[in-house]
Amino acid sequence: MEETGQKRREFVFGDIHGCAEALKIIVNRIALTAVDRVIVLGDAVDRGPDSRAVFDKLLEIRKTCEMIYILGNHEEMMLDAASGHNVDGWLRHGGKATLACYNGRFENIPDTHFELLDSAVEFWEGESAICVHANLEPGVALTEQRPSWLRWNKLTGREFQHSSGKRIVCGHSGVSRSAPTVRDGWVCLDTLVHDGGYLTAVELGTEELFQAKQSGEFRSGVFLHELEM
């Protein structure tokens, strides 16, 4: 898609986990335009210091350009807890930090934040990549994938290339604090920003990585092919 001579860029963001400052740093550096597309791989909430500010920034991004929000296991837990199911489980696994952003009360969560959660999709398929939160069950069509695979199953390192030939881009597995894992047609962008690592984004066209820490550090100029195992 092109408008006024601009070519669409597609940025995929790994697990943000409440780290709003890291998100803001990358978004400011890449300077999104109306023709761009942003894909968020899920787990934007929990564990980190300011999930509320993350939601606000994602809503701002959605006003700037097209945004695809993929449902992660932490969004699933948050929605369940908001409905009164397994609240303690969510709080134990990072939800306590999220609820604290709203002064400890679900009633303080704005409708716009729930609307953003409700807009989340199971996966996204583009021309060259398939984006999911966690994993894919081998040999099963995208539309028939079970939630346990899409949102909960960790990578094993034994995944095969997808039958479509497209690269699978995911988060969830917490591969390292410094660089994503790139192997056998798979990329995992969860670089543990909430635990002192980086928030990682990749532009699908150029395959350039953009990374930021909560502390303010930013780096770019590394490409996926340079990390291929």
CATH number at residue 21: 3.60.21.10
The reported pLDDT for the residue numbered 124 is 98
- What pLDDT digit, counting tens, does each position of 135-184 carry? 999 999 999 999 999 999 999 999 999 999 999 999 999 988 999 999 99
The reported pLDDT for the residue numbered 1 is 45
Res. 4 pLDDT band, cuts 50 70 90: low
Q: What angle do CA 26, 209, 127 make, to 5 degrees?
A: 105
* 110, 59 Cβ separation under 8 angstroms: no
- What pLDDT digit, counting tens, does each position of 43-52 carry? 999 999 999 9
Percent of the chain, pLDDT > 70? 98
What stretches of the chain show up as alpha helix (H) in DSSP? 20-30, 51-64, 73-82, 87-90, 96-100, 111-118, 147-151, 224-227
Mean pLDDT of 85-105: 97
- What pLDDT digit, counting tens, does each position of 170-229 carry? 999 998 899 999 999 999 999 999 999 999 999 999 999 999 999 999 999 999 999 998
Domain containing 159 equals 2-227
Structural domains in the chain (count) = 1
State pTM to two decimals: 0.96
Tell me if residue 72 falls in helix, strand or coil: coil
For residue 65, CA distances in Å to 157, 194, 228 come to 34, 26, 30
Q: Rounded distance, CA 20 to CA 93, Å? A: 19
Q: Judge whether residue 87 has pLDDT over 90.
A: yes
Tell me if residue 144 falls in helix, strand or coil: helix
The reported pLDDT for the residue numbered 34 is 98
